[in-house]
Chain A
């Protein structure tokens, strides 16, 4: 089965706290891609990062970092020193290599509230 699980439905933190959003995936494919998208209150989904299954190197972009571990099928997202503007729903998604390549498999999203 192809599946993405974001166990945290809602997270609330105070500004400047670090926060990690969990993402666990299931796929039988050896080649696949993982994504994170951000959906702020305005509604537009914004691409954050893409990672292919052969690249387990962690990535840092400013206050954002991603930890990809194939051994645990996880692709977690950490925001360091969170800010109010980080408040949004964050979706983790998977595209398996097999089957309909154009269909993303989405997690249910984690709603992050960063309070001043």
Chain B
């Protein structure tokens, strides 16, 4: 089945140690999103790619970066994780990013920062 795959499911890192989360999709969608979701909160959009065009949300800290080397893969890099960055990170895709399109989500990566 076509899907959005996130690895790893659980990631533990140390305070200040760079970490990379990965996402791949077999849907051939143009748009890929990264969301941060903290406990009992709604997902918060960090940034998205429309094809190779990167779109950062105004309130996304500089500590968060992303790469999309090709259509299928997208990475979230956290350069110096702080305790406040512990959260679920969700990757999602949509075909063209239009207002009426539904999002397809991966299962998420639960990040712990020690």
- Decide: A97 and B102 in contact? CB cutoff 8 A: no
- Decide: A102 and B42 in contact? CB cutoff 8 A: no
- Decide: B45 and A43 in contact? CB cutoff 8 A: no
A101 at the interface (CB under 8 A from B): yes
Closest chain-A Cβ to B103's Cβ sits at a distance in Å of 7
User: What residues of chain A lie closer than 8 Å to B42, measured between beta carbons?
Assistant: 91, 106-109
A64 at the interface (CB under 8 A from B): no
Contact partner of A44 among B99, B100, B102, B107, CB < 8 A?
Answer: B107
User: What residues of chain B lie closer than 8 Å to A111, measured between beta carbons?
Assistant: 40
User: What residues of chain A lie closer than 8 Å to B107, measured between beta carbons?
Assistant: 42-44
Number of interface residues of B (CB under 8 A): 27
- Could you give, for residues 86-104 of chain B, a 1 whenever the CB lies within 8 Å of some chain A CB and a 0 otherwise? 0010101010011110111
B110 at the interface (CB under 8 A from A): yes
- Could you give, for residues 44-70 of chain B, a 1 whenever the CB lies within 8 Å of some chain A CB and a 0 otherwise? 010010100001010000000000000
- Decide: B100 and A47 in contact? CB cutoff 8 A: no
Highest count of chain B CB atoms <10 Å: which of A45, A46, A103, A109: A45
Closest chain-A Cβ to B111's Cβ sits at a distance in Å of 12
Contact partner of A35 among B41, B90, B102, B110, CB < 8 A?
Answer: B102
Contact partner of B43 among A42, A45, A95, A101, CB < 8 A?
Answer: A45
User: What residues of chain B lie closer than 8 Å to A102, measured between beta carbons?
Assistant: 31, 33, 48, 50, 55, 94, 97
User: What residues of chain B lie closer than 8 Å to A95, measured between beta carbons?
Assistant: 99-100
Q: Which A residues lie at the B interface, using CB under 8 A?
A: 31-33, 35, 37, 42-47, 50, 52, 91, 95-97, 101-104, 106-109, 111
3 shortest interchain CB distances as A-B pairs: A106-B42, A45-B105, A47-B102
Between A and B, 11 residue pairs with Cβ closer than 8 Å are: A35-B102, A43-B107, A45-B105, A50-B102, A52-B100, A101-B97, A101-B99, A102-B31, A102-B94, A106-B42, A111-B40
